[in-house]
A and B are shown apart, each in its own frame.
Chain A
Amino acid sequence: MRSIEGAVIEFKQLDLLANGNTALHRLDARAKVLATLFFILAVVSFDRYALAPLFPFFLYPVVLASAGNLPLRFIAARIGVVIPFAVLVGLFNPLFDRGILLQLGPFPISGGMVSFASIIVRAVLTVGAAVCLLGLTGFVAVCQALERLGAPRAFTVQLLFLYRYIFVLAEEASRVSRARTLRSFGRQGLGLASFGPLVGHLLVRTWLRAERIHMAMLARGFRGEFHTRQVSRFGGLELAYLLIWSALFLLLRFAAPGQWLGGFLLEFFP
């Protein structure tokens, strides 16, 4: 199993990537958030058996990653973390849906297998796009963009706090779990019996810390309102970026240019 510390380090890496200075990094976060949102909507709105029309959508994460200098291996690794969950979601499709949908040479392909593959491809696409968005923008800027796009303030503030203290909590959790491991000598360390109080301890500590943070906020004049820096603005460049991508997604979604292109080629080069 991956350690908690390892996960935190990877998360921090993603955060550091957002400090890059490419044209994509400099773009107002709202344009990137909206484009990614449209992308995800387009991808998930396909029919459950859609597989081929999904592939042109790989253009989006690939362009983002290459134009934004994001290391592909790193992104692939992040996607890899989520894939097991997608597999779990689609696991039973091939078992329940056995109707033959198409014949690939001698192999019959059932509807369940197609929809299973479709789920995996969609997971790769959406998670890939989300990781690219975070790597290009940073979590904080994404939250601020959400807020400026009209998300409730309470929600974005919660997200920001979650993000700030997930590191602290993870460090605390890893310290506690290390202490447990060191005294359980390779065995289960009382198993669930010790796991309960351990989680309880973490909860209480989190509670106490929340109280101290609240104290620190009150001490600095907090009256329920958050002021953050808003530097970037939504200009022509952002509008163009958003329009071009959304037009492309609409095209890929409704005009199925893959089939159209295939038909076109077959007509001229039979």
Chain B
Amino acid sequence: MSHHIVEVKQLRHVYPDSTVALAEVSFRIHHGESVAIIGANGAGKSTLLLHLNGYLAPTSGEIRIGDFPLTRQTLPEIRRTVGMVFQDPDDQLFMPTVFDDVAFGPLNLGFTQEQAGERVREVLAQVGAVHLLDKPPYHLSGGEKKRVAIATVLSMSPDILVMDEPTSGLDPFSRRQLIGLLRDFQHTRIFTSHDLDMVLELCERTIVLHQGAVRADGPTGEIFRDEALLAECRLEKPLSMQGCLLCGRKQ
């Protein structure tokens, strides 16, 4: 199905203070791909993500999600198709209880209370958080918040998952749990992250942004072996590719 394709053509975004956040970005992401967008702070990652579900409008250029160009008319449909998980779960969990939060999307899509309730249980089971159903979000731990935030998006059955820094602020166990969870998804996945080891595990393809433009786009393994490229873009090899830290032996 061509539904899950994300195509960005010569996207340019200039903020009102005339900062050029994205100079010219083009790429095409296919159905079922898992893609990382990496780059230094200020490279334009967040700005790019905010375009993908229409929160920011391009200064010039075009975005197509599936068969539709992103316009005011297609916005509601595109927001259902593209599930966006924010970096800070406190921004995403705004309802009084976990149940209400996960049901928020489905109810907005016109589900009945019963259908929504069913869906809520289903997706909470998927992320292993059914026991949190009636808890208010501020009583949850960081890892729990993250999983519930993902559930709030899954509940709308998106075709494309976009996640901003999914592993930031998680303890190693929660991070491992989350990576396991994300690996099992069949959706088209787009991540931004500074956690390059996670990128190595989850994404077969990596796009490197540098100063608002695509500097490299290719298989993750190849990109992480190109030390000159990484250094130029203020990045470095994932720890797991750096050889043994104790004895210094290269892999």
Chain A residues with a Cβ under 8 A of chain B:
12, 15, 140, 160-161, 163-165, 167-168, 209, 212-213, 215-223, 225, 227-229
Q: Of A160, A165, A212, which is within 8 A of B86 by CB? A: A212
- The 10 A-B residue pairs with the shortest CB-CB distance, nearest first, are A221-B108, A227-B107, A220-B105, A140-B96, A212-B91, A167-B138, A219-B84, A216-B92, A215-B55, A213-B94
Chain B interface SS verdict (over half): helix
CB distance from A16 to the nearest CB of B (A): 8
CB distance from B10 to the nearest CB of A (A): 24
Is B88 among interface residues, defined by CB-CB distance under 8 A?
A: yes
Known: A164-B138, A168-B138, A212-B91. A220 touches B156 (CB 8 A): yes
Additional pairs, 5, CB under 8 Å, beyond known A209-B91, A212-B88, A218-B79: A165-B94, A168-B138, A213-B94, A219-B82, A228-B96
Contact with A along B31-66 (1 / 0, CB 8 A): 000000000000000000010010100000000000
Determine the chain B residues whose CB is within 8 A of the CB of A163 once the complex forms: 96
Is B80 among interface residues, defined by CB-CB distance under 8 A?
A: yes
Interface size class of B (residues with CB under 8 A): 35 or more
Q: How far is the CA of A225 from the CA of B86 in the complex (A)?
A: 22
Is B152 among interface residues, defined by CB-CB distance under 8 A?
A: yes
Taking CB as reference atom, which chain A residue is nearest B89?
A: A216
Q: How far is the CA of A218 from the CA of B53 in the complex (A)?
A: 9
Determine the chain B residues whose CB is within 8 A of the CB of A167 once the complex forms: 138
Q: How far is the CA of A160 from the CA of B80 in the complex (A)?
A: 25
19 pairs from A and B in contact (CB 8 Å cutoff): A12-B138, A140-B96, A160-B96, A164-B138, A167-B138, A209-B90, A209-B91, A212-B88, A216-B86, A217-B94, A219-B79, A219-B153, A220-B104, A220-B108, A220-B152, A221-B108, A222-B104, A222-B108, A228-B100
Q: Of B94, B100, B109, B116, which is within 8 A of A221 by CB? A: B109
Chain A interface SS verdict (over half): helix
Determine the chain A residues whose CB is within 8 A of the CB of B96 once the complex forms: 140, 160, 163-164, 228
Determine the chain A residues whose CB is within 8 A of the CB of B128 once the complex forms: none
Q: How far is the CA of A165 from the CA of B137 in the complex (A)?
A: 10
CB distance from B146 to the nearest CB of A (A): 14
Known: A167-B138, A216-B86. A221 touches B80 (CB 8 A): yes
Q: How far is the CA of A225 from the CA of B107 in the complex (A)?
A: 10
CB distance from B170 to the nearest CB of A (A): 18
Is B218 among interface residues, defined by CB-CB distance under 8 A?
A: no
Q: How far is the CA of A9 from the CA of B97 in the complex (A)?
A: 18
Is B249 among interface residues, defined by CB-CB distance under 8 A?
A: no
Taking CB as reference atom, which chain A residue is nearest B108?
A: A221
Known: A164-B96, A227-B107, A227-B108. A221 touches B79 (CB 8 A): yes
CB distance from A225 to the nearest CB of B (A): 8
Q: Is A140 touching B97 in the complex (CB atoms < 8 A)?
A: yes
Determine the chain A residues whose CB is within 8 A of the CB of B105 once the complex forms: 220-221
CB distance from B153 to the nearest CB of A (A): 7
